[in-house]
Amino acid sequence: MVQPVEVNIQSNYREIHDTFSADMKAITSLAEKWHLISQIYHSQGEFEAYLSIIRNLGSQRILDCACGTGFPSIELARRGFNIVGSDIDLDNLELLRTLQGRASCDFPLFNCSWFNLDKEAFGEQFDLTLCLGSSITYFESWNEGVAELSMNFSDMRKCLECFRTITKPGGFVLIGICKHYTKTKRTTSITFKPRHIGGETYHMTWALEYFWDKRLKTWQCDVSNIEEESFSIRLISYLFDKDELKDFCLSTFRNVKEIDVCPEPYHDILLLCEV
């Protein structure tokens, strides 16, 4: 069921991305953890790459259907794009609502799954639908409590069909998937450069383990600061490589183009799908 989330703008812009990062002991929800992880992970260079693609496409009305806590939707909205955000995680949307207030940046938010993306529910179709950051692999498992999954490729295709339905004919869907999901690998370890956020210095490592026989991946993320405060999350998701995702997309969309626009340490390949 699609549920709009009311957004009330209450404060003027300040350093919006420092929110919920000053006291690690207070970070308890997956949304709060993800917000800090997102700040450490994402970069201005990555955003500029997205911005260049979107401007070249000429898209103005954009749905970010895995908007999380606001990357890149807030910055796109601040640059004049007409943004709508949706996410299955209500905690993400509540946190994003607060960040919108800090940025004086108001755009509609909807709480829904990808299976509920349709123009009747949203009242419109979009020039561009975004599903970035390997979110596509978590369509049934964005939750720390998930212990096991059983891969259902038909549900995967249903998600892509819904992306197509919510996008205007002649529009585009932009999907991200991690470069490291390759069948020659069983594990990937990534250590990120320290990032200074809100007066703190944070360190982050990722450990990914691939079970290709089961089509499952685990992701362990560890974050710490110089005071030796820390948290970890461990999530499970479906597993397929970019070529398999490209085949899924080609069965749904008119054309699919692979784009590798961001240098390391950014880790995603983008699939630009024409509706």
**Segment 62-108, tens digit of pLDDT:** 999 999 999 999 999 999 999 999 999 999 999 999 999 888 889 99
Domain ranges of the chain: 28-179+241-274
Assign domain 28-179+241-274 to its CATH architecture: 3-Layer(aba) Sandwich (3.40)
Q: How far apart are CA 273 and CA 275, in angstroms?
A: 7
Residue 169, both tokens: 């004919």
Q: How far apart are CA 259 and CA 271, in angstroms?
A: 6
Half-sphere exposure of 134 (CA within 13 A, CB side): 22
pLDDT exceeds cutoff 60 at 8: no
Whole-model pTM above 0.95? Answer: no
**Segment 97-139, tens digit of pLDDT:** 999 988 888 999 999 999 999 888 899 999 999 999 999 999 9
pLDDT at site 121? 82
pLDDT exceeds cutoff 50 at 9: no
Q: How far apart are CA 203 and CA 223, in angstroms?
A: 6
DSSP 126-167: EEEEEE-TTGGGGTTT-STT-------HHHHHHHHHHHHHTE
Q: How far apart are CA 266 and CA 245, in angstroms?
A: 19
Q: What DSSP designation does 269 have? A: E
